[in-house]
């Protein structure tokens, strides 16, 4: 899969995740019931675990998804690195929250689990994107300048235009 396609996948998945996180943030702040088929969303939303220092955990998730979507908009090394690191970090935190739902709250929120599934896919895409572009060891991922003195060396093909 090309870098461009991976970026598109990451962007779409991040936008979907941001939608879920925005909905849960709104429901938390406006104190309105959450559409829920598992019956555990209310319990999770009203637990002590739903806020960190007065900030809804869903809002932290929303910020994370916005960051991930933003990294998909740029083709730079930095964007790839930040995307991979934040996806893995976010997924580690999401796994902790799954444990909290199971072991501490004893209820599961379907929206949170859907978000976790999206994040798992984003991790795969973001890591694939960053790993492929990163050369082993030190140095930059920018292609090294080829020696042009040899008659055997073919001139480097122009890079395809990036959109």
Partner 1 sequence: MSRRTLIIAVAAAVVAAGALAAALALTTGGSKKPAAALGAATVAQMLNGIPQQGTTLGRADAPVTLVEFADPQCPYCGEWAKRALPVIVSRYVRTGKVQIVFNGLTFVGSDSEKALRAALAAGRQHRFWNVIELLYQNQGTENTGWVSDSFLRKVGASVPGLDVQRMLRESSQGSVTTQIAQAAAVAQQAGVNATPTFAVGKTGGAMQLVQISSFDASGLAPSLDSALAS
Residue numbers of the site for partner 1 (CB under 8 A)? Answer: 31-34, 36, 39, 41-43, 46-49, 51-53, 57, 60, 77-78, 80-82, 84-86, 88-90, 92-93, 96, 104-105, 127, 130-131, 133-141
Q: Closer to partner 1 at the Cβ: 48 or 154?
A: 48
* Nearest-angstrom CA–CA distance, 127 and 132: 8
Nearer CB in complex with partner 1: 48/145: 48
The span from the CA of 87 to the CA of 126, in Å, is 7
| Cβ proximity to partner 1, 18 vs 80, nearer residue | 80
Nearer to partner 1, 142 or 154 (CB): 142
Least separation in angstroms between residue 120's CB and partner 1 is 14
Give least dist CB 8 to partner 1, A.
21
Distance set, CA 21 to CA 11, 43, 146 (Å): 15, 17, 47
Nearest 5°: the CA angle 116, 117, 118 is 90
Question: What minimum distance in Å lies between the beta carbon of 19 and partner 1?
Answer: 20
Task: Give the count of beta carbons closer than 10 Å to the beta carbon of residue 6.
Answer: 22
Provide the token pair at 60: 């932290």
We find the least distance from the C-beta atom of residue 49 to partner 1, in angstroms, to be 5
Based on CB atoms, which residue is closest to partner 1, 46 or 153?
46
- Cα–Cα separations (whole angstroms), residue 91 to 76, 115, 136, 144: 23, 10, 25, 34
Residues forming beta bridges with residue 56, ordered by sequence position: 51
Residue 160 Cβ, how far from partner 1 at the closest point, in Å? Answer: 21
């Amino acid at each position: 899969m090309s870098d461009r396609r991976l970026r598109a996948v990451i962007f779409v998945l991040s936008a979907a995740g941001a939608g879920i996180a925005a909905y849960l943030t709104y429901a938390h702040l406006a104190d309105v019931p959450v559409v829920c088929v598992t019956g555990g969303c209310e319990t999770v939303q009203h637990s002590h675990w739903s806020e960190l220092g007065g900030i809804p955990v869903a809002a932290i998730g929303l910020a994370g998804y916005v960051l991930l979507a933003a990294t998909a908009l740029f083709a730079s090394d930095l964007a790839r690195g930040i995307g991979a690191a934040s996806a893995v970090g976010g997924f580690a935190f999401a796994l902790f929250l799954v444990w909290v739902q199971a072991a501490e709250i004893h209820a599961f929120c379907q929206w949170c689990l859907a978000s976790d599934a999206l994040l798992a896919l984003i991790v795969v895409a973001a890591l694939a994107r960053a790993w492929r572009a990163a050369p082993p060891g030190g140095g930059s991922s920018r292609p090294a300048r080829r020696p042009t003195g040899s008659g055997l060396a073919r001139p480097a093909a122009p890079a395809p235009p990036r959109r």
